[in-house]
Each structure stands twice: as structure tokens, then as C-alpha cells.
Amino acid sequence: MPYINLIQEQRLARRMGEQRARMLFGAFVMVLLVAIGAFGYFFFEDQVARRQLASLRKQVTQMKPLLDEIERNEKLLSAMAPRLSTLEQAQESTQKWQRVLDHLSRYMPESMWLTNMKADDKDPAKPVALGLTGLSPTQDDVGDLLLRLQACTDLKNVTLKYTTERIQGEGKGIEFNVDAEIVGTEEAPTKKISASKGNPS
């Protein structure tokens, strides 16, 4: 009888061992399947990434002439930037002169006329100086002209330099000289970087 019980226990132990082995094998198979699935997934993603990389490299190769042309154009543009700036300044200066002359033609008193007009731009740090010389029948007309010139937004520091009596034709007239400055015609000051040195004691 004790032997029979021992055999029964051995059978139970064998069954439990077989069940444990089956469970371990099932777990191993599950882990293996998961690993194979993960490997397949990453392999697929790797292939997709490789194809995308190859496509991007092909696009870069195809776009290289265009990129080179853009780089050349940028170099040309940077080389032409000073000329473009000078041209823009010249265009702006021309427009200022056109506005000033238009203002003179519109608001010059009918009883007076100009005999000379000169511009002085010897000092680039200062605005262009405009000098107007003309003849007027009266001092009042000269004062009227000063007021009208001061109303021009492209002129500043409008001042009467002198008036003098002149004989003109059958009568007398007033010769006048008016000075003004053209707004915005002075060059922008350039910043100079100077190395600071200590004062010797």
C-alpha cells in the first residue's frame, strides 16, 4: 500500500512537471513570436526609412544645380547691394528735387522770378544746401516766398540771406537770396570702433 501511494505521488509530480514544462514552453513560444513580430516590424521600418533616405538623396542630387544657382545669385546680390543702395539713394534724392521744384513752380509768387539756383553738397555729413537768387518788386513778396518755402516738407532751415535794391527795366526791384537745406540728403554717420587704451599713470 505505501508503494501505491508513492507511485501516485510520482505520477502527480510528473504531471505537474509536464504542465510546468508546457507552460514554460508556451511562454517561450509567446516570447519568441513577440520577438519575431518586433524584429519584423523594425525590419520593415528600417526598409521604409532606407527607401525614404534613398529618395531624399536622389532629390538632393536633382536639386543640387538649383541650390548652386541660388548660392551664385545670393553672392551676386550681396555684391550688388552697395550699388543698389546707391541707386535707391539717388532715386530718393531725385524725387526730393522733383518735389522741391514742383513746390517752387506751384507756390512762387507771380510777381517775382528766379535768376539763379545752386546746390552745394561739399560736406557729405551735412544736408545739400540750396541757394535761390531772384528778383521781386517788393519786400513783401520776398517774405511771402519765405513762408511758402518753409511750408515745403523737403526743405528746412529756410533763411533770407540778403535783399538789395536793384534797377530793373523801367523801375526798381529787390534782388534777394534765400538759403535752405534739402531734408535727408546728408550721409548717415558710420560707427567707428576704436580700441580703448588705459591712460598711463
Tens-digit pLDDT profile for residues 129-161: 999 999 998 889 999 999 999 999 999 999 999
37, part of any domain: yes
90, part of any domain: no
| Prediction pTM value | 0.52
Least reliable range by pLDDT among 55-64, 88-97, 188-197: 188-197
pLDDT at 188: 63
Higher pLDDT pick, 186 / 102? 102
Q: Name the residue range of residue 59's domain.
A: 1-76
pLDDT at 6: 64
**How high is the mean pLDDT of the chain?**
83
Pair 15, 64 in one domain: yes
7, part of any domain: yes
Higher pLDDT pick, 168 / 4? 168
SS3 labels along 45-95 = HHHHHHHHHHHHHHHHHHHHHHHHHHHHHHHHHHHHHHHHHHHHHHHHHHH
190, part of any domain: no
Give how many domains the chain has, as a whole number: 2
Rounded to the nearest 10°, the torsion over CA 101, 106, 111, 112 is -10
Domain CATH number, residue 143: 3.30.1360
pLDDT at 198: 47
Which residues are 179's β-sheet partners? 131, 159
198, part of any domain: no
Edge to edge, the sheet with strand 129-136 lists: 113-120, 129-136, 171-182, 155-168
At 120, is the secondary structure helix, strand, or coil?
strand
Nearest Cα neighbor of 127 from 158, 103, 160 is 158
Which H or E run includes 133?
A: strand 129-136
132, part of any domain: yes
Least reliable range by pLDDT among 72-86, 150-164, 169-183, 186-200: 186-200
188, part of any domain: no
pLDDT at 178: 94
Pair 6, 52 in one domain: yes
| pLDDT, tens digit, 9 for 90 and up, residues 69-117 | 898 888 888 888 888 887 887 788 788 889 999 998 888 888 888 999 9
Q: Count Cβ atoms below 10 Å from residue 176 Cβ, excluding itself.
A: 25
pLDDT at 170: 67
